[in-house]
Amino acid sequence: MIIPYTELEPDTLQALLEEIVTRDGTDYGEHELTTQQKVNRAMALLKNEKLFIFYSELHDTCTLQTKEAFDIQE
């Protein structure tokens, strides 16, 4: 299920994004970024509808997914 980021309280959204971007195995390329830089990037992509918050009822977890992962047409 896609969770619109606009429906989350700002503090909840911040905490969720921090948790997601600091998970083990998250790779941001050659240069290290701070947690806040990672959150800011994710937030920009959410606002531009390049990323979506996806909640899995099966796994009871949230992840960030690309538009392509959902085959969303513009």
Count of domains for the chain: 1
pLDDT tens figures, 11-22: 999 999 999 998
β-sheet with 61-66: strand ranges across: 2-3, 51-56, 61-66
Within 8 A by CB and 6+ apart from 18, the residues are: 35, 39
Neighbours of 13 (CB within 10 A): 19
36: containing domain: 2-70
Of 67, 68, 21, give the one whose Cα is nearest residue 42. 21
Q: What would the two tokens of residue 63 be?
A: 């992840």
pLDDT tens figures, 34-70: 899 999 999 999 999 999 999 999 999 999 998 788 6
